[in-house]
A and B are shown apart, each in its own frame.
Chain A
Amino acid sequence: MSYNLFDHYRVMEKQHIVLSFKGEISNKTLVSLAEMLKKIFSRADNRQDVTKKIFAIFVELAQNIYLYSAKKVTVDNKGVGTGIIIIERNEGFYRVKSGNLIMNPAIGPLLEKINHINQLDKIGLKKFYNKQLKTPREPGKTGGGVGLIVIARKSGHPIEVKVNPIDEKQTFIELSTKITEPK
């Protein structure tokens, strides 16, 4: 199958992709992407509160890839996760999507956590957030275990999940959520 850049361009145009990256999310890459995001959103007539929400959700999703992607490369002697992350603009809302490979046994617990988060209302989310913040970090774990709750709280919408099984070992998992632009 030959890859047609024009097709890629047209899809991105059609979907109004404002930012897109595929590759390893190293520390430096994340900083560059975050700075780019700020620049893109400072150009247009954007509300600062919306930009802040998109920024926070983008950082959490990107760090999820960095920490939890099953496909890692070595950067500065560290294992860095690879994946894809995009922001698309729709009528009245933005959507941030991230995708990466995940080992099959990790899917169940992740889906369970997301389902739980999606069932909570605003107050429930805040309670769960406070509880998780006070739960001691598992030894050797960098993530705080609160990233997904932060995403749900900032977004105010459910976290959507799509799983694309690859083989008996791995699955491509896609997480996304939307950020409404107030009128």
Chain B
Amino acid sequence: MENLTFEPTENSLRIDFDATKGMLEMEGTSYPEDAPEFFNPLEAWLKDYISKIGGSVTLNLKIGYLNSSSIKCLLDFVQKLEEYHAGGGEVDINWYYEEDDEDIQEMGEDLAEDMNLPVKLIIY
């Protein structure tokens, strides 16, 4: 199975999904004109990974800014991980935030609260 990588742009995330390690990284700023168009391939890749490899998943999130529609898309993506986890898949989420960045910290806390998943909040 192929890895998935997107170079970052001013308004879209860096994506680095490694199928061998089950290591999924999303980093940067996201306010694309069509957030679902950006996130759909990520969900498709995850679906493939779960059905073909079915290994552990570590999602590392280093978010600077997400617009409202990207937040919704990210939440949908994490919900897929939640379903995988509920079915016995091994899932870990690391949510990185800069010290003093209350918005991103709160977003991570909300995620940890809402999801039945191990979410670790890490200051960097």
Chain A interface (Cβ < 8 Å from any Cβ of B): 26-27, 30-31, 34-35, 48-49, 52, 55-56, 59-60, 63, 66, 78, 130, 133-134, 137, 142-144, 146-147, 149-150
In the bound complex, do residue B31 and residue A63 qualify as a contact, i.e. CB atoms below 8 Å apart? yes
Chain B interface (Cβ < 8 Å from any Cβ of A): 9-11, 31-36, 65, 67-69, 71-73, 75, 100, 102-103, 110, 114
B70 to chain A, nearest CB (A): 8
Instruction: Give Cα A149 to B71, complex, Å.
Output: 13
Nearest-CB residue, chain B, relative to A66: B33
Nearest-CB residue, chain A, relative to B9: A31
In the bound complex, do residue B11 and residue A146 qualify as a contact, i.e. CB atoms below 8 Å apart? no
Q: Is the interface of A mostly helix, strand, loop or mixed?
A: helix
In the bound complex, do residue B11 and residue A137 qualify as a contact, i.e. CB atoms below 8 Å apart? no
In the bound complex, do residue B69 and residue A143 qualify as a contact, i.e. CB atoms below 8 Å apart? yes
B73 CB contacts on chain A under 8 angstroms:
144
A49 to chain B, nearest CB (A): 7
Say whether, besides A133-B75, A144-B35, A60 and B110 are in contact (CB < 8 Å).
no
Q: Is the interface of B mostly helix, strand, loop or mixed?
A: helix
A142 CB contacts on chain B under 8 angstroms:
33-36, 69
A147 CB contacts on chain B under 8 angstroms:
67-69
A133 CB contacts on chain B under 8 angstroms:
71-72, 75
Instruction: Give Cα A30 to B31, complex, Å.
Output: 9
A-B contact pairs, 10 of them (CB 8 A): A49-B100, A63-B33, A130-B114, A137-B72, A142-B36, A143-B68, A146-B69, A146-B72, A147-B68, A150-B67
**Of residues B10, B68, B100, B103, which shows the largest number of chain A Cβ atoms within 10 Å of its Cβ?**
B68
Extra contacts besides A26-B33, A142-B36, A147-B67 (7): CB < 8 Å: A52-B103, A63-B31, A63-B69, A133-B72, A142-B69, A143-B69, A144-B73
Instruction: Give Cα A59 to B31, complex, Å.
Output: 8
3 cross-chain pairs, A with B, having the tightest CB-CB distances, nearest first: A144-B72, A144-B69, A27-B33
Instruction: Give Cα A149 to B68, complex, Å.
Output: 9
Nearest-CB residue, chain A, relative to B34: A142
In the bound complex, do residue B65 and residue A130 qualify as a contact, i.e. CB atoms below 8 Å apart? no
Instruction: Give Cα A130 to B100, complex, Å.
Output: 23
